Structure 1
Amino acid sequence: MYQPLYQQLIEQLGYLSWPLFICAFLGLMIILERLALLLYELPKRDSWLTQLRQQARSATPEQRQQLMTQISQGRSMLAKGTALLLSHGEQSRAMREEIVSLWLVKQKSKLLSGLKILHIIGVITPLLGLLGTVLGLIEMFNQLGLSDGPVTPSQLASGLGLAMNTTAAGLIIAVPAITMAHLFTLWAERRCNKLAHALNLLNLWLDGFDQALSIGTDSAAQLCSKAATCKEASCQSQAAELNKEAELNKTPLTGLSS
């Protein structure tokens, strides 16, 4: 007679079926929710920052208003943080840094939400599997104790099956839960660092530092070119000073000629 899948699992896992089902369901929901957030925070949603870096214009009131209009429809964390920063653009830089710092703490807790529960699930489910192993062995020994005849494989099958199935189920739930919890934690920390870096550059940009948005984005060739340009400009400046000094030395002192 055909039995539904959940009834087969209940028979194979015994008393620990529902605790393992609940852990598996919670872990799956947390992983799916974190994956949705990860896809929602893809870098392509913040393409406006790349365009702003290419413009490299000063933070005039018109530029601020244009940027506010551009990111008003954005729902990514960077867009919201930028909107918060621009809304307090009249404050001092230290005050803006404090506001952004408090906002980043809240966003980090949002990125890490649910991951502690995922860690707990990864720790509990192997213990539930071990408990199922112990219960399966107890059941097997009880059946052997009630039997007066020789031990048959059928007497061992049910107890050993319960012991092995619960252990396997616990590990099957624990390994993805722990792995995904660590991966999501690494992603959350990296995302928070990128948010802090971008908002600090925008904060400098609001203070009138035009090249702030290009910090950390220049290639090696661009850096060498800028260094050569600066060196050339320095050499030209020194040469101009020497020429000026030489001209002063050649000029006759009219006051002493008479």
Structure 2
Amino acid sequence: MDFLHLFRAGGFMMYPLILCSLVVVAIFIERFRYYRSNRSHVDQLGREIPKYLEKRDYEGLKTLLQQDGGIPASVVLAGVEHMNLKVDQTSLIEGAASHAAGLLKNYLNYLDVIVTLSPLMGLLGTVIGMIGSFNVLSVSNGQPFAVTGGVAEALVCTATGLFVAIIALIAYTYLSQQVSHFVSDMEKLGTLYLAIVEAKEQ
């Protein structure tokens, strides 16, 4: 059986399942590109930040962080930009990190929903298809093969729902792992920055 035949056999619930699969692909591509373009050179920054802070070259440090352009660098930048103000640097860094983490997690909740929802939609489509198949029994000349064939085709919807859920779960797991890497990098740079700043204030 070709794809078009299977799609039609799955019933009308195949349409939202196909839509869900497109959403998964779109979110994965968007997040993948976002993460790739917002990485920081954490090891390099870890070596350079102490040098600039020791020299109190805050403008130079700002330039360095801006040129890096990554999210972990932007968290430290939030503190450096307010270095001359009497503000709690720890609160600034924590607030910037919290905001950055929120941006990193954008759209991931949709993937989580699709992981749960897709099998349910597939099961619903199969149940509806099976109800239609067993209606053949109410026809006076109904054939048993028509019933079994209809049930087999109705199961296509469940299989599609499971497939979409598996793809969504893989995408969600991969992207969540990327978020964890970003959070780890933000904590590393933020802790380094705060440790030096607080030591200088004492």
8 Å CA contact 1:23–1:121 kept in 2: the answer is yes
Structure 1 residues 40-59: aligned runs within 5 Å: 40-43=37-40, 45-46=41-42, 48-52=44-48, 56=51, 58-59=53-54
Write out per-residue CA displacement over residues 58-111 of structure 1, whole angstroms, 9 at most, x where no aligned residue: 5323x322222223233211221222221112245x701111111111111111
Structure 1 residues 95-110: aligned runs within 5 Å: 95-110=88-103
Tell me: CA distance 1:192–1:39, structure 2 relative to 1, closer, same or farther (3 Å). same
8 Å CA contact 2:65–2:73 kept in 1: the answer is yes
SS at match of 1:148: coil
Counterpart in 1 of 2:55? Answer: 60
Cα-Cα RMSD: 2.6
Partner AA of 2:115 in structure 1 = G
Q: Does 2:76 align with 1:85? A: no
8 Å CA contact 2:112–2:169 kept in 1: the answer is yes
Tell me: CA distance 1:146–1:205, structure 2 relative to 1, closer, same or farther (3 Å). same
Write out per-residue CA displacement over residues 117-142 of structure 1, whole angstroms, 9 at most, x where no aligned residue: 11111111100111111112111111
Distance 1:205 1:160 in 2: 68
Write out per-residue CA displacement over residues 163-215 of structure 1, whole angstroms, 9 at most, x where no aligned residue: 21101100000012123323423432342233023112112223566xxxxxx
SS at match of 2:141: coil
8 Å CA contact 1:132–1:162 kept in 2: the answer is no
Distance 1:60 1:30 in 2: 43
Q: Does 2:180 align with 1:189? A: yes
1:139 to 132, 150, 160: 132
Distance 2:77 2:143 in 1: 78
Distance 2:172 2:102 in 1: 14
TM-score after normalising by structure 2? 0.84
Counterpart in 2 of 1:24? Answer: 21
Distance 1:48 1:150 in 2: 73
8 Å CA contact 1:46–1:76 kept in 2: the answer is no
Segment of structure 1 superposing worse, 115-124 or 71-80: 71-80
Q: Does 2:122 align with 1:166? A: no
Greater CA radius of gyration, 1 or 2?
A: 1
Counterpart in 2 of 1:33? Answer: 30
Shift in Å, 1:116: 1.1
Distance 1:57 1:66 in 2: 7
8 Å CA contact 1:59–1:206 kept in 2: the answer is no
Counterpart in 2 of 1:227? Answer: none
Counterpart in 1 of 2:64? Answer: 70
Paired-residue identity, %: 21
8 Å CA contact 1:14–1:162 kept in 2: the answer is no
Structure 1: state its 5+ residue gaps.
210-258
Partner AA of 1:197 in structure 2 = K
Structure 2: state its 5+ residue gaps.
none
SS at match of 2:54: coil
Partner AA of 1:162 in structure 2 = E
Counterpart in 1 of 2:109? Answer: 116
